[in-house]
Amino acid sequence: MSFKILCDFDGTISKADTTDAIFDRFAPAWRSIEALWEAGEIGSAECMRRQIELMDASLPELDEALDELEIDPTFSAFAQFCNAAGVELIVVSDGVDYFIRRMLLRAGLGRLPVRANRLIQHGQRHYSLGHPHQIEGCASGAGTCKCARATADCAGYRTVLIGDGRSDFCISHKADIVFAKKRLLSYTQENGIEAFEYSDFDGVRQILESLLPLRRQHPVFANAGLEAA
């Protein structure tokens, strides 16, 4: 059976957490709201909405700040590899669609599908956040429910997750193959979830290349029930 890749953005494709960097610059009080989320008092969707509403920036100022941020230099080649291999690569993030699309477009990757929270501009300097990929009953209260996106985007396919943090915890239990680093790696180790450790997308590509066509003898693929091509 074929598979699709769901890839996180902030801290995974982007070198730094894009949302945090933008909030540091244009919404300096954002960390007080972040503390409520980390304490479990609010869900991530509410957290992001309240933080976005703190932002004070014109769109040109926002664009200038985003253009100073970088994506992983190995990601473009990885996206080309996925395209050549006929594997759909989908960016799925609990971050902000405008931030993601701006950075991908600058890298020549503007055609990649993106599932994320929607930035809505009000007047010249203020914003709110929409949640086109939110579902009722999401375990983490996320604005973008990654588990639901896996069901919707990967129906009939095996799911590959590439992630690094808390927004990937829930889906890591459900994905067929997991690539993990940072907080997600610790989480998978603590919860007995099989995962490939990676540092950049060259590493992910090399592992996928070694598994194409999919080989039954590899433990992760075997446990996921994948058939040989």
d(CA 68, CA 211) in angstroms, rounded, equals: 36
pLDDT score, position 229: 29
Residues 6+ apart with CB under 8 A from 104: 13, 71, 91, 110, 112, 114
d(CA 115, CA 167) in angstroms, rounded, equals: 13
pLDDT score, position 213: 60
Tokens of 147: 């588990």
Which amino acid makes up residue 41? E
Asked whether the beta carbons of 105 and 23 are under 8 A apart, the reply is: no
Q: What is the pLDDT of residues 36-70, one digit of tens each?
A: 999 999 999 999 999 999 999 999 999 999 999 99
d(CA 150, CA 14) in angstroms, rounded, equals: 21
Asked whether the beta carbons of 55 and 1 are under 8 A apart, the reply is: no
d(CA 119, CA 139) in angstroms, rounded, equals: 23
Question: What are the 10-residue block averages of pLDDT along the chain, 229 residues in total?
Answer: 91 96 98 95 95 98 98 97 93 98 97 98 98 90 93 93 96 96 98 97 93 51 41
Q: What is the pLDDT of residues 148-164, one digit of tens each?
A: 999 999 999 999 999 99
Q: What is the domain class of 3-15+71-119+133-224 according to CATH?
A: alpha beta
30 DSSP assignment: H
Which amino acid makes up residue 73? P
